[in-house]
Structure 1
């Protein structure tokens, strides 16, 4: 597993290879190890519990040989990136973007990050909150009020669904919550995106967030300094990609002299890796260099890096009215899976 098992969210689907005790006898044809596949339901300092088809399996950490997150089971026939249900895709996407606080309300997840990003400050209402709906919404409103934040929910469905047709959406609308811009969830395979690479300059990859990448990210949106690093580094694993003017790009574009070593990124992107999927986000290109294929090349290189690490599926979220970005992603092979909207208990800004 690329990240510590402690970084894997409870509820993720995993496969764990572990040593049997007593070990088997190879000459007698009995195994010395076994695999447990299922949902990670608990962990302690000493062991983990995986809910398999045969029941819960408690595995001592000292016996674990290898482990990794794997995608949820498909809910219908078709390509794996489209066969996943809307709810399962939302569960996959949730940990691919960080949050400073996460708290469970039944099967709902409440997230807060001092107001930095809507995803980092919203409820993922999947399943049963463990309370009557009205009481659950009361709890949500109080939880965010205690943090000085507006309550917000990410409500998902088919690409053209109406929030009022969803029981949660109807409850929120009856309370005066407002509906924000519709967002599309696009999915594909890492093979598809990696193979669509138009080519381009060197791409720097790092699992660590550094000041140079973060400075470029600050050009894409207003950041909350006390929250930004925690959110960007808050996935089980993340990968930061960038293209800088140095390393030959400036000469290619006729913007610099030979030997230029300018480390400042002119294009960036991030993958948040969770539950066997790679989630693309934070894609940005310097406005002066747009239309030159840098975003497509960077995205393809990120996909190729994830593929080399055994990740086969990708997702991203893009606002439904961002036609330029949608064209880019669809050229790379992404397809429309579902959508979501944010509902907020106050004016949207």
Structure 2
């Protein structure tokens, strides 16, 4: 059973930012604004100094990298009360939603086949858009053991997802299906094949992060046997 801090660390390793600077046990990250996770400071563990002082360094790091100062804070964690006491607030306007669930589940429950990892142009177009930036290429394309999983119909990538194995965990992200091919079970099929790939790489557990408002995705993951492990929110200075 993974602790919250360990699981969050594995997720961060599976989602590498362009700039990563440790602050005690905290982890300051920046990637030109691509995703909240890669452009926030993970506040697990002890920053090695009083939290208000640490948050000042977080703000300086964000300013130096041209991003909004943001703290990735696990709900109910030791850091949460300290971040709030320092005058920060939950970022209710965060594009991906202020609060996310971290869900986990055993791969053997839904593994079905083994997907082939293919770095196709259509994979990038579906998961990141038509114009791929350096930050997107780095966050999605690098990591310890990455899988570019997709389903191709008539030469077109119609479903895609990214997997990355860190230790015994398969990190799942960017699951997408073209509107023209939804409601055909492709997401479930792709997840099953990605899980099969994860097992071949030594993973036993999957982890994924999903916004609390994304009810359809949460329902799919629950049907695959995943359950909520914990939640986190993004915090920003109350006065910028």
When normalised by structure 2's length, the TM-score is: 0.89
Q: Deviations over 1:298-322 (max 9, x none)?
A: 0010001111222111100111111
In 2, the alpha carbon distance for the partners of 1:127 and 1:238 equals 27
In 1, the alpha carbon distance for the partners of 2:146 and 2:121 equals 16
Partner of 2:80: 166
Aligned length: 235
In 2, the alpha carbon distance for the partners of 1:187 and 1:204 equals 20
Q: Is the 8 A contact 2:44 2:79 kept in 1?
A: no
| Bigger Rg, which one | 1
Partner of 2:127: 217
Partner of 2:17: 99
Q: Is the 8 A contact 1:237 1:274 kept in 2?
A: yes
In 2, the alpha carbon distance for the partners of 1:304 and 1:190 equals 7
Task: Name which of 183, 189, 193 aligns with 2:100.
Answer: 183
Partner of 1:241: 149
Seen in structure 2, the aligned counterparts of structure 1 residues 336 and 114 have a Cα distance that, compared at 3 Å, is: same
Seen in structure 2, the aligned counterparts of structure 1 residues 214 and 96 have a Cα distance that, compared at 3 Å, is: same
Q: Is the 8 A contact 2:110 2:192 kept in 1?
A: yes
Q: What is the RMSD of the two structures over their aligned residues, measured on CA atoms?
A: 2.3
Seen in structure 2, the aligned counterparts of structure 1 residues 84 and 335 have a Cα distance that, compared at 3 Å, is: same
Could you tell me which runs of 5 or more consecutive residues in structure 1 were left unpaired when the two chains were aligned.
1-82, 247-261
Q: Is the 8 A contact 1:116 1:223 kept in 2?
A: no
In 2, the alpha carbon distance for the partners of 1:288 and 1:278 equals 28
In 1, the alpha carbon distance for the partners of 2:167 and 2:237 equals 31
In 2, the alpha carbon distance for the partners of 1:266 and 1:244 equals 6
- Please tell me whether residue 113 in structure 1 is matched to residue 31 in structure 2: yes
Partner of 2:209: 317
Partner of 1:155: 73
Higher relative contact order (CA 8 A, sep 6+): 2
In 1, the alpha carbon distance for the partners of 2:207 and 2:89 equals 32
Partner of 2:221: 329
In 2, the alpha carbon distance for the partners of 1:224 and 1:341 equals 27
For the residue of structure 2 that corresponds to 1:135, the secondary structure is helix
Seen in structure 2, the aligned counterparts of structure 1 residues 223 and 316 have a Cα distance that, compared at 3 Å, is: farther
Seen in structure 2, the aligned counterparts of structure 1 residues 177 and 187 have a Cα distance that, compared at 3 Å, is: closer
- Please tell me whether residue 205 in structure 1 is matched to residue 119 in structure 2: no
Seen in structure 2, the aligned counterparts of structure 1 residues 304 and 164 have a Cα distance that, compared at 3 Å, is: closer
Structure 1 residue 345: Cα displacement: 3.3
Partner of 2:158: 266
For the residue of structure 1 that corresponds to 2:16, the secondary structure is coil
For the residue of structure 2 that corresponds to 1:216, the secondary structure is helix
For the residue of structure 2 that corresponds to 1:205, the secondary structure is coil
